[in-house]
Each structure stands twice: as C-alpha cells, then as structure tokens.
Amino acid sequence: MKIHIEKYNPNWITQFFKEYNQLLDSIDESDVVIEHIGSTSVNGLGAKPVIDIMIGLKDFSTADNHINNIESLGYNYISKYEDIMPYRKFFIKEINEKRTHHIHMVEVDSDYWDRHIRFRDYLRSHKTVRDNYFELKISLSKKEWNDGDEYAKAKTDFIRAIETEIG
C-alpha cells in the first residue's frame, strides 16, 4: 500500500468546519469540544488528505450515546481498536470508497486529548519541526506499507521525541 501525501491545502480547514457544524448539531451534549487535529490542521504542513477530528466529552461514559448520531452523518464506527484503546471511539468517513475523515472521540483533558492538542500546537508554532515532519512523511510515503497503521507507527519515534521535548 502506498501512502499519498499532498502539499498543504487551505481547503482542509473548510472541510473541517463543515463537519464541525454537523457534529455540533448532532451531539446532544453541552460540554462537547470539537478540535481539528492531525497534519491537515497545521497551516503549511502537507498530509494525507484525511481530516482528523477529535471530539472531547467531559464524561466519556456518555460516548456510546453519540454513536448513532455520528453514523447518521455518514461515518462508520470502528470498534476493533477499543481492545487496545478503550478510552477512544473511532469513526471513519469515506466518499466514493476513499477515506476522507477520521473522528477520535475521547474525554477532554485525558492524556490522549492533551498529547494530540500539544503536538498540533507545537507544529503550528515551530516551522522547522513542521518542515522536518513533512520531510519524514514524504520519505515514508515512498515505501510500500501493509496498511495505514504500519505507516502511522513509522512516525511514532519522531512524534514521541517532540512530545518529550514539549513535556
């Protein structure tokens, strides 16, 4: 499997806000927080053209209450990862058999939430690190992968080094 990395596309923010508004309307919870995460959320950073969205709930025990509403927006709920990440609900959206969006539903201020927000914000404010991350992604995209998870794991050392640096 080849990974396709595109140059930064300013339309990614528009795509996020379209989903943001639909998700906000569909989730019946006043304390919900919805953030654009991942590489498509970082101005100037090339990425796979998949919009990563993180939905933060104040009380994760309510997460199951929102699955049907999110599915009604065209997302597929993928429960298989909960064996290793029981603190996250994961959804994907595909258009014409092409993946376009991911949703990661977690508890606000959990470790998962904090790590993703800090990493995103660090890339937004550190151009050299952002550019190094893009170069890594370009070099990894030239390899053949069994699946997207294998590609994601190949980026882990870089990400963990940044997370260690920012605390």
Q: How is the chain split into domains, by residue range?
A: 11-166
Check: pTM over 0.85? Answer yes or no. Answer: yes
Q: Lowest mean pLDDT of 28-37, 38-47, 61-70, 129-138, name the range.
A: 28-37
Kindly tell me the burial class for residue 118, based on how many C-beta atoms sit within 10 Å of its own C-beta (0-12, 13-18, 19 or more).
middle
Is residue 167 predicted with pLDDT exceeding 90?
no
Predicted confidence band of residue 147 (pLDDT cuts 50, 70, 90)? confident
108 secondary structure, DSSP code: T
51 closest CA partner among 89, 93, 113: 93
With a pLDDT cut of 70, the percent of the chain lying above it is 100
103 closest CA partner among 36, 6, 10: 36
State in words which class domain 11-166 has. alpha beta
Beta-carbon count within 10 A of 79 CB: 9
